[in-house]
Amino acid sequence: MRIVQACRKLGLEFVCVHTAEDIHSGHVRIAKELGGEKSLYQVSSYHDANEILSVADDAGATAIHPGYGFFAEDFRFARRVTTRERKLIFIGPSWRVIRELGDKINTKRLARSLGVPTVPGSDRPIYDEMEAEKIARSLYDFQLQQGITRPLVLVKASAGGGGMGIEEVYDIDQFRSVYRRIRNYALRQFKDEGVLIEQRICGFNHLEVQIVSDRSGKNPVHFGTRNCSIQSTGLQKRIEVAPGFDSSSIEYDFDADKLLEDITRHSLALARKVGYDNVGTWEWIVTKDGSPFLMEVNTRIQVENGVSARISKVKGQGDVDIIAEQIRIGLGDPLGYTQEDITFEGVGIEYRLIAEDPDNRFTPWVGRIDAFGWPSHPWLKMHTHVPTDESYEIPTEFDPNLALAIIWGENLEQAKERGMQFLDELTLQGENQSGELKSNVNFLRANTGRILRF
């Protein structure tokens, strides 16, 4: 829906795809309202590249926006889009950049060559079980020497992202079976068996740097930092806050302002190194003593781009639309501003409203939503595909994400107060055969007080 709105803002025509299960989704409604029936195509699957490209050809499209999902970081899809007989523009980084940074192992190697701190562990694909176990044992031994009484390592699909394809291993005797499982998963899901063995960093905050660059790849800028530390048990983000730390109201054991400067500087250095040419996110973990480690680069626009946009101004103009910027520069426009033109004001909080049961390992809830609404406020932005004027059956084929709520405040305390006000005023009701709708609203409420803290 935000992509459609950005197209209209830029004066661009669009077409949308939808599956049969998504016929009642808000993006179908908004496409009809803004583009008419000709703006809609039904497909059997969002993951069928042939169908997507057939739609593009039939509609006479000149560009494809891959959204936030798997296609957005699939260099093979991006390459196919731009090199087929009827060439299209891929709204995202060039396929070569996606390939180069989409591999966590290669990203780590590039980062280390620039002196960018990375998580201890392998910096090349590990395909041999014996070698993988040897690396894991060395990381266990290192942690024991550091006084960690219960060491563990992470086994990660190098081409994964968004918390997918990651498992923790506490018992070295279980390592080989986990390694095999992740390698098989990576092959099925990402068509790449590459596996990364890393030391698990404990007691950290998860920060991100929002990078934007035009097709020249020479002048990247950042739109600040986000803190995404409040997550589900499956490492899926639930609350995002911009900026990533707040030294004006929270006392840290390190110089938080310098830390934010360091990770943005490192992120821009790596972006310049590879000639990054669209929107992307540099993901960091920061320990309680202020040690930063680059975790990975997401070579796509992320769902949470809006909370960074909310606190940003370009040449004094607020209400930045990073999706519109992505499309504009993706089509070849120069960036048109420098880092000195970007300023920041206030604090933004983004809540992900999801039909799930946080008390039962965040198990998805499926059923009918009967009432969904909220009072409007100048400090609140809501993004949702769920209708507010009629009931809505949550499709079982997709994750039950309901909405993104972005709250702005002049400072952290005001943003938190407004966030709690929003959650208290929210109406979200529904049911299924087992009872009333379950959501993460209480989880969001309970965790608002600890944002930006360790």
List residues with catalytic annotation: 300
User: Residues near 213 by Cβ (< 8 Å), separated by ≥ 6?
Assistant: 219, 220, 221, 271, 276, 277, 278, 279, 329, 335
Maximum pairwise Cα distance, the chain: 65
How far apart are alpha carbons 386 and 307 in whole angstroms? Answer: 20
Q: 297: which 2 tokens?
A: 């680069």
Give the DSSP letter of residue 22. Answer: G
* Stretch (H or E) spanning 284: strand 279-287
141 Cβ contact list (under 8 Å, min separation 6): none
Contact 224, 426 (CB under 8 A): no
Contact 261, 225 (CB under 8 A): no
Half-sphere exposure of 124 (CA within 13 A, CB side): 3
φ/ψ (deg, to 5) at 404: -120, 125
In eight-state DSSP terms, residue 428 is: E
Q: Are 3 and 66 in contact (CB under 8 A)?
A: no
Burial (CB count <10 Å: 0-12, 13-18, 19+), residue 387: middle
Cα angle: 445, vertex 447, 449; to 5 degrees:
95
Handedness of CA 312, 316, 321, 325 (dihedral sign): negative
